[in-house]
Amino acid sequence: MATYQDAWVLLSDPSRRAIVEALAEQPRAVGELAADLPISRPAVSQHLKVLKDADLVAEQASGTRRVYRLNPVAVEALRDQLDAFWARTLASFGEQTNNPPEDERS
């Protein structure tokens, strides 16, 4: 099973990102996802398996098909990581602008 930090690597793939974006709108079956993507249905299934193994998506049986949805816990963990990253980045930027190097002070 992958960790949430591994999720960033998984999301670097454009097809997986597109699948996650589609699932952010609403839960969907493989066929629905494949209809909107420039990849085959088996390729969508393979990407969903990778995302499922990373706990980014969950599946639920609905009759004879499986419906995929984002795992809200995983999405929240990714958001927390982004928030922490931006907080550190903005704090560092603030320090740099408030305390420029001596050679830049006038």
Spatial separation of the C-alpha atoms in residues 34 and 29, rounded to whole Å? 9
Spatial separation of the C-alpha atoms in residues 85 and 99, rounded to whole Å? 21
Query: What predicted TM-score, i.e. pTM, was given to this entire model?
Result: 0.75
Note whether residue 22 is domain-resident: yes
Average pLDDT of 27-54? 95
Note whether residue 65 is domain-resident: yes
Note whether residue 104 is domain-resident: no
Which pLDDT does position 1 carry in this prediction?
44
Number of domains in the chain: 1
Q: What is the pLDDT of residues 69-98, one digit of tens each?
A: 999 998 888 888 778 877 888 888 777 778
* The pLDDT of residue 13 is above 60: yes
The CATH code of the domain that includes 73 is: 1.10.10.10
